[in-house]
Structure 1
Amino acid sequence: MSNKDIQNIKDLEKLIGLSFASGSLLRQALTHSSFTNETHHSPILSNERMEFLGDAVIGLVVARELYIRMPHCSEGELTELRASVVKGQTLAKVARKINLGKFLILGHGEETSGGRDRTSNLSAALESLFGAVLLERGLSEAYEIAVCILGFELDESIKNGVQMDPKNLLQEFVQAHGQGDLEYKLVKESGPVRDKLFTVEVLVNETVIATGAGRRKIDGEREAAEKALKYLNPKS
């Protein structure tokens, strides 16, 4: 590892309050696939597999915390609350708060195209970070660190309670005002398989009202619905 990589690992360890026996796990958690694709002979793996593991850690932590702290919520309400915390936009927001983008290891093309602050890269890196902690220290410490780092978003989710899905709100608004048929149309899929971005249009009476994007098609639809609501009902 370069001196810069070693220093970055030390700085990140200090930030999360945890030392790794080997820096290789933490370095992998920070390595975007663009770097490994550009350095074919590098022994360093990308964080894609670790992202999968960290996603499971976050899902477990958020589900358990909500279950304990929201005893009167139904299964459906808990599911909505969990979705608000684990979605890519929220995880990227958390990653920005701890300046995780500073530590990412990117390929040249990804670096020059703004990849250090790209929502999908930041959310994936945060998930990978929790995956690395799980592998290094086990579930107990991974749980504690996840609760610490995600604590504010968990608190906000609980404080705000269950918010209705923007798609449902838009459907109700359109029906209440007799504005016609509502339709969502997938217009673009971009990026590699593990990092796809889905762009979706929402149409009322075959007229495009707004466009949204997300790592899942449903996230793109929800973002489009939120924008459409603001356009159709600016006082809301």
Structure 2
Amino acid sequence: MSEFDFSKIIGYTFKDLNILKNALTHSSYINESKQAYNANNERLEFLGDAILDAVISDYLYHRLSDVEEGQLTKLRSLVVCERSLMECATRLEIGTHLYLGKGEENSGGRNRTSILADAMEAVIGAVYLDGGWDVSVDFILRVLKDTIEDALAGKLYSDYKTELQERLQINGEVAIHYEVEKEEGPDHDKTFYVRLTANKKIIGNGQGRSKKEAEQHAAKAAIEKMGW
């Protein structure tokens, strides 16, 4: 399927399909085809992450006029977390349209949470570059509509990092720190190992294909270890 087909799926027609192709190109594909580094989607992911945060923050601020900052932050984290973005990417069939290297393809990259979530952010960045602010706002609120409503209705899970922080800090401030102990593998196929400490005491360890994923696994391990 082509970028044009994908445009129809997401309900936005790109003026410049090269921007969309850029958003769908994983670094593993660039490494194997020996193209320029900036042809992958990492810069668009960076941009899309910022646009997404701003749009969701603005929406929640205006819709929930009586809600305090802490709750707004929690709601936003539910909407923009890696799992929510992965689920949105799955609905939009992003995995089917990704340009992946053979190694990443063979290891299940089209269904990997971190890759799909990052690509979702890159697509948001691409929509912003191609269509501007108003178009990107409409796009984000449309494709994440159900996620936003579920968050407001209390139907969404808390991610493990947020849940752990809330439990640890229920009786006061606790210094929580995630540290990458080591990285293994080439740039397009890395595994990250994270150590989690609370008040300088190790409470969990995790690994994943991205730092975010490894941190989530470390937080989950800590929750399970404490019997919560």
Give the TM-score normalised by the residue count of structure 2: 0.78
**Whole-Å Cα distance in 2 between the matches of residues 198 and 43 of structure 1?**
21
Gaps of 5+ in 2: none
State how many pairs are aligned.
Answer: 219
Equivalent runs, 1:71-220 vs 2, <5 Å: 71-160=65-154, 165-171=162-168, 186-190=180-184, 198-200=192-194, 211=206, 213=208, 215-216=210-211, 220=214
User: CA, structure 1 residues 214+41, in 2 after alignment: closer, same or farther (shift >3 Å)?
Assistant: closer
User: CA, structure 1 residues 50+203, in 2 after alignment: closer, same or farther (shift >3 Å)?
Assistant: closer
Conserved? CA contact 1:200–1:224, under 8 Å: yes
**Whole-Å Cα distance in 2 between the matches of residues 162 and 117 of structure 1?**
21
User: CA, structure 1 residues 62+190, in 2 after alignment: closer, same or farther (shift >3 Å)?
Assistant: farther
Conserved? CA contact 2:49–2:121, under 8 Å: yes
**Whole-Å Cα distance in 2 between the matches of residues 168 and 54 of structure 1?**
26
Paired residue type of 2:126: A
Conserved? CA contact 1:48–1:194, under 8 Å: no
Cα-to-partner distance string for 1:161-180 (whole Å, 9 max, x where unaligned): 9969322354379x9xxxxx
Conserved? CA contact 1:166–1:226, under 8 Å: no
Shift of 1:78: 1.3
Paired residue type of 1:40: K
**Whole-Å Cα distance in 2 between the matches of residues 153 and 30 of structure 1?**
22
Shift of 1:12: 0.9
**Whole-Å Cα distance in 2 between the matches of residues 135 and 52 of structure 1?**
12
Paired residue type of 1:112: N
**Whole-Å Cα distance in 2 between the matches of residues 87 and 155 of structure 1?**
15
1:33 to 2:61 alignment: no
Larger Rg: 1
- 2:53 is matched with 59
Shift of 1:189: 3.6
Shift of 1:231: 5.6
Paired residue type of 2:113: T
Shift of 1:77: 1.8
Give the TM-score normalised by the residue count of structure 1: 0.76
Equivalent runs, 1:13-52 vs 2, <5 Å: 13-41=7-35, 45-52=39-46
Shift of 1:128: 1.0
Paired residue type of 1:24: N
User: CA, structure 1 residues 43+19, in 2 after alignment: closer, same or farther (shift >3 Å)?
Assistant: farther
Shift of 1:59: 0.7
Any idea what SS the aligned residue of 1:71 has? coil
Conserved? CA contact 1:50–1:131, under 8 Å: yes
Shift of 1:108: 1.1
Paired residue type of 1:63: S
**CA RMSD of superposed structures (Å):** 3.5
**Whole-Å Cα distance in 2 between the matches of residues 8 and 91 of structure 1?**
22
Shift of 1:43: 9.8
